[in-house]
Chain A
Amino acid sequence: MQTIDLEADGLRHLNATLQSQVAETNQTAWEILNPRGAHAIAVGLDAPIEVTVKGSTGYYCGGMNSQATVHVEGSVGPGVAENMMSGTVIIDGDASQYAGATGHGGTLVIKGNASSRCGISMKGIDIIVHGNVGHMSAFMAQSGNLVVCGDAGEALGDSIYEARLFVRGSVKSLGADCIEKEMRPEHLTLLAELLERGGCDAKPEEFRRYGSARQLYHFNIDNAY
């Protein structure tokens, strides 16, 4: 286990060290001490390493991650795992706004609640939230999967494209062009895999599926909001 004390070593040293790891590294396990809400922790990683952050972070933790597993033993500020390409980011606590924003791939697991705009403009990422998500989650979501084991706030999936949304609890309201859709066998299979990957013990049959009505895919005055 390699340890970096953020308070002593500074953010630039932390990120430069983690970013310099290559696929063949034998230093696969890293521990970050004293994050104390700092921003941009463990961003731009590109190697199959495992990073454990011992505490809560500020903005953009795990941003643009590729390959790495980042585990935050605390809560995270806005934009966790934004634009992630691959790998895994796991949050033990809660996440602030824009969790997983524009993520192109990989898996984001939030064991607590996520605030507003979770999965905004997601482009292939899988997001599994054990708790609730706030308003405008999955706004303009393009592809990927958002699983919400708790409740969803207002305007879920507003202006959604091809992303799939699975919610176990209540949905306060659906956004423009977002509708409930039939849960077919292939969705149950997919959801079971996502729940297992996210460490959830919920049953796929307890969820409802939401997605795009595809009425806003072409400019048409009859569909204008």
Chain B
Amino acid sequence: MKDDPTGAPRTAPIQSATFSDPVNAEIRRAAATGIYDIRGGGAKRKLPHFDDLLFLGASMSRYPLEGYRERCDTNVTLGTRFAQNPVELDIPITIAGMSFGALSGNAKEALGRGATLAGTSTTTGDGGMTEEERGHSKKLVYQYLPSRYGMNPADLRRADAIEIVVGQGAKPGGGGMLLGQKISDRVAEMRNLPKGIDQRSACRHPDWTGPDDLEIKILELREITGWRVPIYIKVGGARPYFDTTLAVKAGADVVVLDGMQGGTAATQDVFIENVGMPTLACIREAVRALQDLDLHREVQLVVSGGIRTGADVAKAMALGADAVAIGTAALIALGDNDPKWEAEYNALGTTAGAYDDWHEGRDPAGITTQDPVLAARLDPVEGGRRLNNYLKVMTLEAQTIARACGKSHLHNLEPEDLCALTLEAAAMTKIPLAGTDWYPGKPGSGF
């Protein structure tokens, strides 16, 4: 505070909470450019999340298992409803769909190597199947997206599962973006588009218009692949009860539910931050839909969107998920936003930990780029080793928690093992607020 010349005290400057520095910077940016801000990653605003739940370890009323000594299994089978060859995984943590184009070839290879070492699957993305990923992923899920970039029956038959993408947590109702800076010759060829243009992939499938059509589309895909592989349906977290119900009705073997914290290669910032529902709020509604259909555990539920730790994994499974998928966390494990590149992040006007201009193709870590010089910075063998380590740690963490809850398999975790820290989390998950037997909306509670 600085007194004025008359000696009268002046009020210290007060920043507006509404017109904060970031808000004002965005207003200035919009005024200068006339176009919305595009970025990668997921929602950055604070949202109710798994941190708002806690586990109730065993004491008297429950009996714990010994850490490291007593068995706590982690395997999961996805696609048991109709497919001849369900996907058998050693751990219930899978790698979410991320496209070649958004990611470098080395990054895709590293994901494949790491996932295979850890005994789990990777997923292609909006750009087709690459040899880097197919060659290094023992289990590969092939995404069937509205754009149909690179879609062909030969690759369809090389997949271990097909994931029909109807929505994405970062942008339910929105299509993909890949800006011209990242459209190399190879990306352009795979997508049948001119090099260097800004690609807007479709927000809706071109050849079906609703769940009744989708049921027939799934029949076609099964006929093409001989009914061998599971069909996943991925929905963005927006209306989880109804979307899960309709996905199951259409014939899904697996429902993949991607909450609002889920990432994306690039889309409008306003979309990422303002459309969709928090992952935490989606899970119980999806589980309720499966239970109402009497298909919980027969149609598996994979949850994604902001999964970071073994605790997140365990909480998602306690709420009723069969497995989880990670995207952003896997990229960080590979080395994205690593502080060792801080000087280069600074040169791009940002900092390690906040870099999200993935669409510009200048990622110093060589992960979200098609620049061959930058991409060469990521050693796919070392990246795979790091991802494997991370997946192993998450699994160990989840097992540790499960054992403390007395569970000999991660799938035995249940809502009873949890309490809620906040009213919001209690309301969203129907988990009682810590120290009570109550959650908002509980029947008979008067609320």
Contact = CB atoms under 8 A, between A and B. Distances in A.
Contacts of A85: 152-153
B384 to A, nearest CB: 32
B226 A16 contact: yes
Contacts of B192: 104, 123-124, 142-143
Given A85-B153, A142-B193, A219-B198, A60 B216 contact: yes
Contact of B227 (A12, A39, A217): A12
Contact of A79 (B38, B194, B208, B227): B208
A101 to B, nearest CB: 4
B86 to A, nearest CB: 19
B35 interface: yes
B206 A102 contact: yes
B194 A162 contact: yes
A120 B153 contact: no
A143 B152 CA distance: 16
Contacts of A82: 207, 220
A215 to B, nearest CB: 11
B351 interface: no
Interface in A80-108: 82-83, 85, 97-98, 101-102, 104
Interface residues of B, number: 34
A172 B33 CA distance: 35
Given A44-B224, A102-B206, A161-B194, A83 B148 contact: yes
Interface string B173-215: 0000001100000000001111001101010001110000100
Interface string A137-173: 0011011000000000000000101100000000000
B156 to A, nearest CB: 7
Please tell me the size bucket of the interface on A.
35 or more
Contacts of A142: 191-193
B197 A218 contact: yes
Interface in B153-182: 153-154, 156, 179-180
A121 B148 contact: yes
B270 interface: no
Contact of A59 (B33, B34, B213): B213
A83 B220 CA distance: 12
A39 B148 contact: no
Contacts, number: 108
SS class, residues of chain A in contact with chain B: loop
B35 A220 contact: yes
A79 to B, nearest CB: 4
B148 A123 contact: yes
Contacts of A114: none
A220 B198 CA distance: 10
B223 A11 contact: yes
B302 to A, nearest CB: 26
B194 A102 contact: no
A44 B153 contact: yes
A98 B224 contact: no
- Most central of B147, B192, B193, B200 by chain A CB within 10 Å: B192
Interface of B: 33-35, 38, 147-148, 151-154, 156, 179-180, 191-194, 197-198, 200, 202, 206-208, 213, 216-217, 219-220, 223-227
12 contacts: A15-B224, A16-B226, A39-B220, A60-B217, A63-B224, A78-B207, A85-B153, A97-B207, A102-B207, A139-B206, A140-B206, A219-B38
Pick the 4 closest A-B CB pairs, nearest first. A44-B224, A221-B34, A101-B207, A102-B148
Interface of A: 11-12, 15-16, 19, 39-40, 43-44, 46, 58-60, 63-64, 66, 78-79, 82-83, 85, 97-98, 101-102, 104, 117, 120-121, 123-124, 139-140, 142-143, 159, 161-162, 216-222
Given A40-B219, A104-B151, A104-B152, 5 more contacts: A11-B223, A120-B206, A121-B206, A159-B200, A161-B197
